[in-house]
């Protein structure tokens, strides 16, 4: 399993401190295409120059701020799709192997029209996955944390996508799964669909992005049950020092 680091830990300043990330001897970098780190043509060129000089692979995490691909408002939904498809093009330009995608959000309309956002989420996912197939980019849909308006928190929601004919890959966010008591379920019901992992810890209530081992995630269960061949992983922490510690622990966890 290739293990790396997400630029969540350097959000807003990634391209100013990229040398610090490389100094950790990572072979995989997940670029969060968002805010001040948005993947412009210049930054695409920088990343391609870096990967030409270092043995470095990329995954890309799509934009997440103010994005709702399940929006009840068609103009907002269309704008969200446009931003994501543009981001996918830039991911393709840096040779990313996986594109991590957040699903949509429930809106108040769902209280009046049940499942309206779930249906719109499926509609948007079909377009995004189809575009990924067209450009040769694997779109891996991420499970979301509990106690949020996000869709796709539980395994049965992913199973419903499959039953509706959507050929999906999954990014298993271990911390998110822990908040929803779903880690075991994902590993037993969707293991064949998991191609990427987000590694961070918490105590099962809040999405804290703690260092691996500083919470109650069942890391032994993950290590013994997840497929390691054909699966990549990144640690996802809120600061660079925590990411460094998580990275070291992740290496120990999967090499032991």
Each residue of 40-56: pLDDT tens digit? 999 999 999 999 999 99
What is the DSSP code string of 31-76? EE--GGG---HHHHHHHHHHHHHSS-EEEEEPP-TT--TT-SSHHH
With vertex at residue 115, the alpha carbon angle to CA 114 and CA 117, rounded to the nearest 5 degrees, is: 120
Distance of CA 180 to the CA centre of its chain: 17
Range of the domain at 188: 2-255
Instruction: Provide the number of structural domains found in the chain.
Output: 1
How large is the average pLDDT for residues 191-220? 98
Each residue of 69-109: pLDDT tens digit? 999 999 999 999 999 999 999 999 999 999 999 999 999 99
CB of 158 closer than 8 Å to CB of 142: no
Each residue of 163-174: pLDDT tens digit? 999 999 999 999
Residue 113: is its pLDDT beyond 80? yes
CATH number of the domain at 32, please: 3.20.20.150
What is the per-residue pLDDT for 17?
A: 97
What is the per-residue pLDDT for 91?
A: 98
What is the per-residue pLDDT for 232?
A: 98
With vertex at residue 209, the alpha carbon angle to CA 118 and CA 247, rounded to the nearest 5 degrees, is: 120
Residue 155: is its pLDDT beyond 90? yes
What is the per-residue pLDDT for 105?
A: 98
Each residue of 6-41: pLDDT tens digit? 999 999 999 999 999 999 999 999 999 999 999 999
Nearest-angstrom CA–CA distance, 189 and 173: 15
What is the per-residue pLDDT for 207?
A: 98
């Amino acid at each position: 399993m290739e293990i790396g680091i997400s630029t969540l830990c350097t959000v807003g300043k990634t391209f100013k401190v990229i040398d610090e990330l490389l100094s950790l001897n990572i072979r995989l970098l997940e670029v969060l295409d968002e805010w001040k780190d948005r993947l412009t043509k210049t930054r695409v060129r920088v990343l391609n120059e870096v990967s030409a000089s270092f043995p470095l692979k990329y995954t890309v995490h799509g934009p997440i701020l103010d994005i709702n691909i399940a929006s009840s408002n068609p103009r907002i939904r269309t704008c969200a799709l446009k931003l994501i498809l543009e981001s996918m093009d830039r991911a393709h330009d840096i040779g990313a192997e996986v594109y991590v995608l957040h699903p949509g959000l429930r809106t108040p309309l769902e209280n009046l029209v049940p499942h309206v956002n779930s249906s719109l989420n499926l509609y948007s996912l079909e377009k995004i996955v189809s575009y990924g197939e067209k450009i040769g980019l694997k779109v891996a849909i991420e499970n979301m944390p509990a106690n949020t308006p996000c869709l796709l928190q539980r395994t049965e929601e992913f199973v419903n996508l499959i039953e509706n004919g959507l050929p999906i890959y999954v990014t298993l966010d271990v911390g998110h799964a822990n908040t929803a008591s779903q880690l075991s379920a994902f590993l037993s019901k969707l293991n064949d669909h998991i191609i990427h992992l987000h590694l961070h810890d918490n105590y099962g209530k809040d999405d804290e992005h703690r260092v691996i081992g500083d919470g109650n995630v069942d890391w032994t269960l993950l290590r013994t049950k997840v497929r390691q061949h054909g699966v990549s992983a990144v640690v996802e922490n809120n600061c660079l020092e925590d990411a460094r510690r998580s990275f070291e622990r992740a290496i120990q966890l999967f090499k032991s």
